[in-house]
Amino acid sequence: MWTYLIRRLAWNVPVYLGILLFIMIVLRVRDPVFARLPKNATEQDKADIRAELGLDQPFVAQYRDLLRQVCTLSFDQESWSHPGQTVGQIMKRSIGPSLAITVPALVFTTVLSVTVALCSAWFRGRLPDRLLVLTSVLGMSISFLVYIILGQYFAAFRMREITGIDLFAISYDPEVSGVGGMEFVTTVWPRYYLLPVLTSVVVAMGYDTRFYRAVMVEESSRDYIITARAKGAPQWRIMFVHMLKNAMIPIITRVATTLPFLITGSFLLERYFGIPGMGNQLLLAVESLDFPVVQAFTAVFAALYIATILLTDILYALVDPRVRLS
Amino acid sequence: MSSASPSSELPTAAPTARPVLSVRNLTTQFRTDRGLLTAVDSVSFDVFEGEVLGIVGESGCGKSVTARSIMRLLPEHITRYGPDSRVEFSGCNLLELKERRMRRIRGDRIAMIFQEPMTALNPVYTIGAQLDEALRYHTSLSRRERRRRVLELLERVEIPSPERRRREYPHQLSGGMRQRIVIAMALACEPDVLIADEPTTALDVTIQAQILRLMDELRKTSQTAIVLITHDLGVVAQMCDRVVVMYAGQVVESAGVDDLFHDAAHPYTRALLESIPRSGARRTGRLATIPGMVPGLDEMPAACRFAERCSGREDRCTRIAPRLTDITDARSVRCHFPMHQAAGETH
Amino acid sequence: MTEIGSSRAWRKFLRHRPAVIASVVIAVYVAVALSVLLTGWITLEDTSARVGPANLPGFGLLPDPEQRMDNAEWLAERIESLCDRADPEEALAGFRDLGSRRLADLNVDEFRRRIDAIWDTWDRLAELDDVNEAARSPETGPEVREGLAELDRRCEALLQPVSETGSVWRTLELLLGTDRQGRSIFLRAVYSIRVAVMIGLVTGLLAVAIGTLAGLAAGYFGGITDGIITWLYSTFASIPGIVLLIVLAFMFSGGELDASLNRVTGGLLRTVLGGRLDETLIPVYISFAITFWIGPCRVIRGETMKIRELEYVQAAVVMGFGRMRLLLRHVLPNVSHLMLINFSLLFIAAVKSEVILSYLGLGVQNGPSWGLMISQSGQEVMKGFFWQIGSATGFMFVLVLAFNILTDALQDVFDPKHV
Ligand SMILES: Nc1ncnc2c1ncn2[C@@H]1O[C@H](COP(=O)(O)OP(=O)(O)O)[C@@H](O)[C@H]1O
Ligand SMILES: [Mg+2]
C-alpha cells in the first residue's frame, strides 16, 4: 500500500508543478503595476514599483520562490493589498470562517441526502420517490444566488419582521471576527453562520440526493440483492446492511469530490454575507491583483484537492475488499 | 392444511402422491413504459418430493420470471399476477401471502440458486457472514452453533479448507467455488424445494459436471424437490425426471424425460432436440439456434406463438391459438398437429 | 453504449415524453435567441432605456398607494424640470422616460397647469399620515382611492394616447414590471435569452470540441500524447472549477491581452455576424472553455481506449486502414453520444456559472443577463419587490430544467450504465 501511495504522490508532483506554473502564467496576463501607478507616473516610478513587487526578478526565480514557500509551508511573502501582513497570516485568519461553513454543511448534506436517498430507494417508483426526483430536478434548475437572496430575505429579514424572532443576522458583522472558543460556537456561529450553512445544504441536497438515489437504485438491481432476498432477508437489512456498504464507495468518492466544491460554494456565500473566509479573501486578492495571495491560495486549494483524491483511494481499500492498492 | 387438492391439469409421474409445490395458471405481467407485458402466460406444473423437474426453453422465454414469481422476488410495484394464478405450497397460495410470511418461507422452505455465481454474492461481506445470514433468519441457533453449521455446509459442498474459506471474500474464490457457496447457502435450512435457475450456464464444462453431481447427491440424500431451469438439454437428460418445455412465456410440452427425448410431440421440442449434435457426449448439447426469432413481449401473435418458425405450419396455426391438451395421461402438448408416434399422422 | 446513429435509441428517446417537451422548449428558446440576434426586434438600447417609474409591478397590477404617489411625484418633477430648461420645447419633445410613450402635444404653460393639478391632488393625499393605511380603512378608503385614481388620470393627461400598434409594445414593456432604474424587466429577460443561449452554445461547443480532440488523441494514440494530455487535465482538474473560472475571467477581462483578443477575434466575428456578437463576452467564453473541456476529455479518452481494444477495430488496424480513417469511421461515431451528453451538461453549467460570474462582476459587462438581473435584485427583494428576481429566475429555470430533463433522457437512452 505504501508503495502505491508513494507512486501516486510521485505522479502528482508534475501535476502540482503544472498548477503552480499555470497560475503564475495566467496571473501575469495582466500587469499589476498599472493599477498601482500614481498619477503622472514616470518610467522610473514604474520600475520602482516593479522592483518593489519583486516582478523585476526573472520568472524562474519567482517560480522558485513560490515553490520554496509551498515546500516549507511558510507563506512569508507580504501581501500586496494588505501591506504589513504576510500571506500566511491572511490565510490563517480566513481559514476558520471558511471551515465554519463548509464542514457543517458537508456533514449535514451528506447525512441528510444519503438518508433521503435510501428512503427514496425504499419507495422506488412510488409517489414519495417520484416526488423526490421531481423536487431535486426542479431545485437544481434554480441558481445558487437565488437561494441565497431568498434565504436571506425570508429566514433573516421576514422572520424577524413577522415573528419577532431575531435568529439570523442579515449579514456578517466584522466586530465578531475576534470571538473564539465556546462563545463562538454558542452565539456567533448560530447567528452569522447557520443561515449560510443551511442555504448551502438546501442547494447541495438537490444534487446529492439525486446522485445517491441513482447509486442506491443501481445497487438495488444487483444480483446479490436478489440472493439476499431469496435467503429471506428483511427489507431493512437489505438496505442498511447489504446495499449501504456497497454504496459506500460512490458515497465516499462523492463526499471527497464535494469537499473542494463546498469551498467553491462558499465563495458566493462568503461574498454575499460578507464572511471573511478563504473564498472572499481570494476574490478580493484577484480583484486587487494581489499575486502573492492568489498564488498561495491556489497552491493550497490544489494541494488539498490532490490530498482528498489520495485519501479517497485509501478509504476505498478500507471499504471494498476487492480494492488492493498496488 | 387444506384438503382441496387442485384437480391437476397436468399429468404427474405419481398421481397418487401430493405435489410439494404446485404452480397453477401462473401469469406474470410487468407494467412498463411500453404497456403491460405478459412475460409468463398461464404456466402450470407440479413438483413432487425427491424429484427433479426440468424447465427448458430458449433464453428470454420466461424461465427466470417463472422461478422468481414462485419466490415472489420480482419488483412488486411493477409486477402483476393473473387473477387465477396460484402457487400452492404447504397449503397456501404464495402469491397472496403477506410479505412477512413469505420471508419466512424464502431461504427456509424454498431456496434458490442463481445463474451468475460471479455476481450473486455480496462482494463486501465474507463467505461466512453470508452463509450465516440464512441461519440467523430462520433458526434460533447460537452464534457458535451457527458457525459450526457454516463449516458443515462448506464441507458438504466440498469446499477445501472451510475454516480459511469462511473468512474470505467472494472475489478470492473461483466461479465454481462461488456457485458451491450459493448452493451451500440455499441448503442452509434444508429446504423442501430448491429452485436452480441455470446453475451451470456460467461455468465451464468440468465445473458444470461437478456442480450437477453435487446437486444429484443432495437430492438423493435429503429428498429435496428440485426445479432445474436450464437451456441445456444435455443437463436435462442427465438430471431430470420430468420436463416442462417453455416457449415465449407458455408451456408448449410437458413429459417424462424418456418420452421427451425419444418421442417429442411439439415441433419446437423436436427442433431443440435436433439442434443437439448427435455424435459425442450429450454434455455438449447446448441449444443451437433455430432459424427465426422469438416474438417480443409486446408483439405476441394471438395464434400459435411458434407458428412463425415452425416447419410444419399450416393455415390453422396462424389463425387459432392451440390449447395445452393431454395426449396421454403423463404428457401434454400445445400444438394443433402434434408430431409424436401415437398421434399416427405425419406432415 | 449505444451509437448515436441508432434509430432504435432515438425511438426510445421519442417515447420519453418529458424529454420531447424539453426539446421543444429548448427549440423555442433558441428560436427566440436567434430572432433577437438576427432581426433585432429587441435592441440593446431597448433593454437599457427607462420605460417608466422604478419597481412597477408586472401584469398591469397597481403598486401600493404610497408608491403610486411616488411615481406621480417622479413624473411631475421630471416634466417640471424639463419645463424649466432653457429650451423647454425641445427638452419636452426629447422626453423618453416612459419607453415608447410620448408627451402630449401641448405648450409649456399647459404642461405647467396640468402639473399643478397633479400637485393639488398630491398634496391632498400627502396630508394623510399613512396613505397605505388610509386606503385600506373603511372610512377614508373610498375617498383616498378616488384621489389616487384622479392622480393617475392627471398624470395620464400629460401623455399622448397610445396608438393601436403602440399598445402591444407598451404592454410588453410593462408586462413584468420595471427594475430599480425603471427599465423593462420583460425586455431585459427576453434579451437575456440571447445572451444565455450564446454563452451556452459557444462554450458548450468549444469545450466539447477541445475535449473531444484531446480525448480522442490521448485515448487513441496513447504513449506520450496520452501522458501529456492526462497531465494537462489532471492539472486543470486539481484547481477547483470556480477558482479557475474566477481567476481566468478576471485575468482575461482587462488589460492588453483582452484588447488584442478583441481586435483579432472580435473583428473576425464582427465581420461574420455583422456585429451582433458581444465582444465583451469573449473573456467569459475563454474561461469557460478552459475550465470545462476537462469533463468531455476524460470520458472520451476512456471510451476511446475501450473502443481501440475492440476486435473489429483491431482487425481494421491489421488490415492496414489509415489511422485517421479509423478515428473518423469507427471511433468518432462511437463517442458521439458522449459528446452530445457532455454538450448538454456544459450548457447547463455555463448558464448557471454566468450568474455567479456576473454577480462577482466578471461576467456579462454589456447589456442585461439573467445573472446581472438576479444580482441586482438583492436590494429590491429586501423591499418586497420580487418581479425582477422572479422573472430572471423563471426564464432561466425553464431553460435549465429543460436541459436537465434532456440530459437525463439522453443518458438513459445512450449511456444507461452511467450513475
Ligand atoms: N423486470 C422486468 N420488466 C420487464 N420485462 C421483464 C422484466 N424481467 C424480465 N422481463 C422480460 O420477461 C421475459 C422473460 O425473461 P426471463 O424469464 O429472464 O427469460 P429466461 O427464460 O431467459 O430466464 C424477457 O422478455 C424479459 O425481457
Ligand atoms: Mg434466465
Write out chain A residues lying below 8 Å of C389, CB-based.
146, 149-150
Ion ligand 2 — residues with CB under 5 Å? B 64
Contact predicate B86/B95, CB 8 Å: yes
SS3 A128: helix
Residue identifier of the C-alpha nearest atom 5 of ligand 1: B30
pLDDT at residue A244 above 70?
A: yes
Helix or strand (DSSP H, E) at C144: helix C141-156
**C7 pLDDT above the threshold of 60:** yes
Q: What is the pLDDT of residue C254?
A: 64
What pLDDT does B342 receive? Answer: 58
Which of A249-258, B77-86, C382-391 is predicted least confidently?
A249-258
Question: Is B119 within 8 Å of chain A by CB?
Answer: yes
For residue A24 the three cell numbers come to 503564475
Which one, of A145, A208, A267, lies nearest residue C354 by Cα?
A145
In angstroms, the Cα distances linking B198 to A162, A324, B44, B67, B113 are 68, 32, 20, 11, 8
> What is the Å distance from ligand 2's center to B202 Cα?
11
Cα torsion B202, B207, B213, B218 to 10°: value is -60
| Chain C neighbors of A12, CB-CB under 8 A | 234
d(CA A191, CA A186): 9
List, in order, residues 6 or more apart from C367 with CB less than 8 Å away. C44, C47, C48, C191, C195, C278
Alpha-carbon span A123 to C6, nearest angstrom: 34
List chain B pLDDT tens, one digit each, 347 residues.
344 444 444 444 444 578 999 999 999 999 987 889 999 999 999 999 889 999 999 888 999 999 999 999 998 888 999 999 999 999 999 999 999 999 999 999 999 999 888 899 999 999 999 999 999 999 999 999 999 999 999 998 989 999 999 999 999 999 889 999 999 999 999 999 999 999 988 888 888 888 899 888 888 888 899 999 998 888 999 999 999 999 999 999 999 999 999 888 999 999 888 876 654 444 444 445 677 788 888 888 889 999 988 888 889 999 999 999 998 888 999 999 988 775 544 44
* The three three-digit cell numbers of residue A116, written as one number: 433521503
> Tens digits of per-residue pLDDT, C272-322?
554 555 667 788 888 899 999 999 999 999 999 888 888 777 777 777 777
Cα A51 to the center of its chain, rounded Å:
35
User: What is the pTM for the complete model shown?
Assistant: 0.83
Q: Is the ipTM of this complex over 0.85?
A: yes
Compute the distance between CA of residue C209 and CA of residue C295 in angstroms, rounded to an integer: 12
Do B186 and B113 meet the contact criterion of CB atoms below 8 Å apart?
yes
Beta carbons of A321 and B171 less than 8 Å apart: yes
Residues 370-399 of C with CB under 8 A from A: 370-371, 374-375, 377-378, 381-382, 389, 393, 396-397
> Could you read off the pLDDT of C44-69 as tens digits, one per residue?
888 988 998 989 999 988 888 889 98
Average pLDDT over residues C337-352: 94
Is a pLDDT exceeding 90 seen at residue A26? Answer: no
pLDDT on residue C245: 86
- CA gap A22, C243 in Å, rounded: 13
Return the pLDDT at C189: 95
Contact B282, B234 (CB under 8 A): yes
Q: Which of B27, B28, B64 to mutate to test the pocket of ligand 1 (most atoms within 8 A of CB)?
A: B64
Domains of chain A: 17-72 (no CATH), 95-277 (1.10.3720.10)
- Which chain A residues are closer than 8 Å to B107 by Cβ? 230-233
Which residue of A26, A146, A302 is in closest CB contact with C248? A26
Q: What residue segments make up the domains of chain C, in order of their start? A: 7-41+186-414, 61-173
pLDDT bucket at A166, cuts 50 / 70 / 90 = confident
Name the residue of chain A whose CA is nearest to B71's CA.
Answer: A230
Q: Measured between CB atoms, does B216 come within 8 Å of chain A?
A: no
**Grid coordinates of C13:** 428517446
pLDDT tens profile A255-311: 887 776 666 557 889 999 999 988 899 999 988 889 999 999 888 888 888 888 888
- Angle in degrees, 0-180, between the axes of helices A2-27 and C241-252, rounded to the nearest 10: 20
More confident site: C35 or A221: C35
* Total residues found in chain B within this entry: 347
CATH pick for C7-41+186-414 out of 3.40.50.720, 3.30.428.10, 1.10.3720.10, 1.10.340.30: 1.10.3720.10
Ligand 1: centre distance to CA B62 (Å)? 6
